[in-house]
Structure 1
């Protein structure tokens, strides 16, 4: 009886191995739903977001008129920004020389890094900002100008 059981089990294993694997198919959308891209940008910097607990996700639209500045500040979580129109110059505490970003570019600023954004152009700059911050934390805090001579 043991030999027959082993034969049946071996046959069942061989049959299962020979069968094509079943794959789950995606389901198509159903009903009225529309997606609209708000912003799309590319960055050469690898992006990684890690949180230590409950997190609030905030998405904002920012328009900086010519000459406008965000002032030096920090965020308690990662900031991901996409420039959707015009250009901005970014200074950070780790790189005081301003770096200009234009439409279609993305910027990642780690939590706690003092920085400021300035519109040095002659036209409005538009930016879509996404923040990942601890629940109930303020979005930003003022910071001193770490690049002042």
Structure 2
């Protein structure tokens, strides 16, 4: 066996170790063997999540027959609104008037209507409708034992209060 002098042997071992280190270093994954961890790639922008459109609430149709001829005129623009009103048994609205017209469909129960020029209250039941002309003082009352559900439609002057309280036009009130 041939002996290699010590300084050469040390150099050879160092070269082998260095070569192995370079080889291993080249195979190492980021973060191993002291290699820096690259910055995480920017996450792709998340695709917008499709939000399903809200399912409209089922609207129960309401229809009623008005007891007389109806004429509606507005002097200019008007605000059209539809809402549901429930009058509890025994509940009565105060006398009031609107800056426009009101049509009421009785969906459930019954109400009585008192209005200027007709102080004897008129009764309206399910499937019937009533019309109150522009600025006519009136009031509705539920004199029954069950709630009265009403679909109230108004056509009112814009920018003014929806209604104003008035004194009773009927002498017996």
TM range (shorter): 0.7 to 0.9
Once residues 148 and 120 of structure 1 are traced to their aligned partners in structure 2, the CA distance between those partners, rounded to angstroms, is: 20
Once residues 39 and 139 of structure 1 are traced to their aligned partners in structure 2, the CA distance between those partners, rounded to angstroms, is: 23
Partner of 1:75: 98
Shift of 1:49: 1.2
Partner of 1:25: none
Partner of 1:18: none
Structure 1: runs of 5 or more not aligned: 1-32
1:78 aligns to what SS in structure 2? strand
Q: TM-score, normalising length from structure 2?
A: 0.64
Once residues 35 and 47 of structure 1 are traced to their aligned partners in structure 2, the CA distance between those partners, rounded to angstroms, is: 29
Equivalent of 2:108 in 85, 100, 108: 85
Once residues 64 and 94 of structure 2 are traced to their aligned partners in structure 1, the CA distance between those partners, rounded to angstroms, is: 23
Q: For the structure 1 residues 36 and 147, does the alpha-carbon distance in structure 2 shift closer, same or farther, using more than 3 Å as the test?
A: same
Larger Rg: 2
In angstroms, what is the RMSD of aligned CA positions? 1.9
Partner of 2:45: none
Tell which has more relative contact order, 1 or 2 (C-alpha 8 A, sep 6+): 1
Shift of 1:137: 1.6
Equivalent of 2:68 in 45, 64, 73: 45
Structure 2: runs of 5 or more not aligned: 1-55
Higher mean displacement: 72-81 or 38-47: 38-47
Shift of 1:44: 2.9
Partner of 1:24: none
Partner of 2:36: none
Q: TM-score, normalising length from structure 1?
A: 0.74
Partner of 2:83: 60
